[in-house]
Amino acid sequence: MAINLSNTQKAVVDYLGDNLLVIAGAGSGKTRVLTERIKRLILILKKGEKVLAITFSNKAAEELKGRLVETLGEQKLNECTYIGTIHKFCLDIVTSRSSAIGLPDELHICDSYNDRLQIFKEAIESIPQIKAKYIGTDTKENQKKIKKLLDNLSNAKRNLKFAGDYANKPLIQKLFEEYDNMLIQQGVIDFDDILRYSYQILTERESVARLYRKIYKYICIDEAQDLNKAQYEIIKALAGNEIGVTMVGDPNQSIYGFNGSTSDYIERLFLDDFKAEKIELNENYRSSKKIIEAAKKIESSFEVYGVCKYEGEFEIFNFDDEKKEAEFIVEKIKRLIKNGHPDVENNDITLEQCAIIARNRYIFKYIEELLKANKMEYTLKASAKGSFSSESDFVKAFELGIRLLVNSKDKIHLVELSKLVSSKKKYKTFEELKQDKDLSEQWVLLLNILRSAWAILLENDNEIKFHIAIKKLKNYMNNSQLNLDDHELILISEDLKAWEEHWNCYVKNSSAGERSLANFVRTVSLGSTNISEDKGIVLTTVHMSKGLQYDVVFIMGLNEGVFPDYRAVYADDNSKDNKQLIEERHNMFVAITRSKRLCYLTYPLLKNTNWGVKVQKPSRYILELSGIK
């Protein structure tokens, strides 16, 4: 089926120069253009060559694959492209080439902040000078200092720093070295290491970089406004002077500064370093007139043409308190679903077409209570939650066991599992724990069941029978001897269902030859199997709403200090650096432009806090937008 493209969109798709920057404003058909450009590049590939497409999220990767597979078919798509996040691509580099820089094979991801914090504390404990300098008698103050030190180290890693870069600060250098060594001793690396070690491999082993350049002839980067230093430098190291790079992004939607991201990489550095051509997509194919008018008030640089035929709605409401605000939103959604709206296609609105956006997840407290009371289905998207998150003790033990099966060096999760089974013993190995008969009668019985499931996973590494292990666990749940509480059984059932979904997603997105239990665990750690369909109304923070769109959007809790965030306001008032406040404005722009047709802004005049009822000021954005009728 032929795709209708504007002249500007066609110029992007057909561009045959080396490097291209596409500034794609909200609603400009960015995903469609990126899809068509990849299809165009595939036509000029030679046998064995591929297009590397880097997306910002796993969900975006799935959407892009879905669009391409419709015309290319699955076999052609797999032969000619690699589509995924930069962490997924770089993890493949590290796990396959780790020995090139002296790292051990079979490294895994330390995906929990608390696990990293525990290892970091052990590193501090092992260095008396560090302990004397930073650790005092105040436990709470110590915790703050340790977290700040770890955050500083993570920031250094995101800027591609190694311990050797701190020779002029010997204590910090020693701590850096000790933390890295302790991670490796446990057979793990942290998220920042995935990019850092990939960069080291590509820059220190030219033969490896040349190999990748033989395979990947074009790189396409989505959401390029959110690149940080490590990501940008990896792309530079990979591309060299041989690979054509297309970056697509919108500076007005740069909202990940807290991760070191900045739109400078596309607005200045990419143009200079790659001598890239620049094309701007200013057409808007999505948003109603009112949405565009509001977006322009927030970001004056937002320029669009090709006006949408729908007028749309953009309205602001205030309420006595947060409960009244939540009640209004729920009732408004009910009316829209019942009556529809002429500016929405077919005059029909469903729960899935509605989203409620807030600056942080705590704003959703009352709206969640009301949605539950009204039996209205909803999905909460508040954080990029990892996939090792079972609620039941039984399945939690199962997943901890999986980690220990693939990584015998993992002491953190061995200790965690021993605590879970209520043992005070210090086990040296996972096998020792599995065979312990001194545990409670219940845990001896449960571990007996789990041992049989773990054994199935180890039967044949060339054919992982994960679904059979899950089926065995399900069957055991009907065992009356277990005497489990009904609520616990429900949790177990839901947890096992979630693991089935992880496995099915992994199988769908991998070939039989590359599957292994270790690879599955790494894929789960990356969140690559955590792709589920949103059901009902979507409640989402601004950062999690990136790339999504809805006919009806409510932006709630719009008080000064909430949106914009108080930390950004404070930083602006107390320094000359207004970067945080600029990013807050980008956040508001992103929130508004998630709406295709109808957008409602709400805020309470009073808020119940632990310190009593407090008067709330409307957000500065409310004041700026109040003129839109």
- 3-state SS of 169-216? CHHHHHHHHHHHHHHHHCCEECHHHHHHHHHHHHHHCHHHHHHHHHHE
E-state strands within 480-594: 537-541, 550-555
- In angstroms, rounded to a whole number, what is the distance separating the alpha carbons of residues 341 and 324? 24
What b-and-e string marks burial along 567-593, b requiring 16 or more CB atoms within 10 Å of the CB?
ebbeebeeeeeeebbebbbbbbbbbbb
E-state strands within 283-330: 313-319
Contact between 382 and 541 under an 8 Å Cβ cutoff? The reply is yes
Q: Could you identify the residue written with the tokens 């496995």?
A: 503
Report angle CA 61, 33, 536 to the nearest 5 degrees.
50
Tokens of 72: 């290319």
Taking each helix axis from N to C end, the angle separating 113-125 and 139-158, rounded to the nearest 10 degrees, works out to 110
CB atoms within 10 A of CB 101: 15
- In angstroms, rounded to a whole number, what is the distance separating the alpha carbons of residues 330 and 618? 21
Long-range contacts, stretch 239-243, CB < 8 angstroms, 24+ apart: 239/213, 239/274, 240/209, 240/213, 242/213, 243/213, 243/216, 243/217, 243/218, 243/219
- 379 in a known ligand binding site: no
What b-and-e string marks burial along 384-416, b requiring 16 or more CB atoms within 10 Å of the CB?
eeebbebebbbbbbbbbbbbbbbbebbbbbbeb
- In angstroms, rounded to a whole number, what is the distance separating the alpha carbons of residues 246 and 11? 13
Report angle CA 395, 107, 429 to the nearest 5 degrees.
55
- 28 in a known ligand binding site: yes
Tokens of 316: 């602001």
| φ and ψ at residue 273, rounded to 5 degrees | -70, -35
- 30 in a known ligand binding site: yes
DSSP 410-439: -HHHHHHHHHHTT-----SSHHHHHT--SS
The dihedral built from the CA positions of residue 493, 494, 499 and 504, taken in this order, carries a sign that is positive
DSSP code of residue 103: P
List of residues 6+ apart from 519 with CB closer than 8 A: 95, 510
List of residues 6+ apart from 66 with CB closer than 8 A: none
- 29 in a known ligand binding site: yes
Between β-strands 612-615 and 606-609, what pairing exists: parallel, antiparallel or unpaired?
A: antiparallel
- 57 in a known ligand binding site: no
- In angstroms, rounded to a whole number, what is the distance separating the alpha carbons of residues 239 and 218? 8
CA 449, distance to chain mean position in Å, is: 34
CA 340, distance to chain mean position in Å, is: 33
- 31 in a known ligand binding site: yes
- 136 in a known ligand binding site: no
- Residue numbers belonging to the annotated binding site: 24-31
- Residue numbers belonging to the annotated binding site for ATP: 24-31
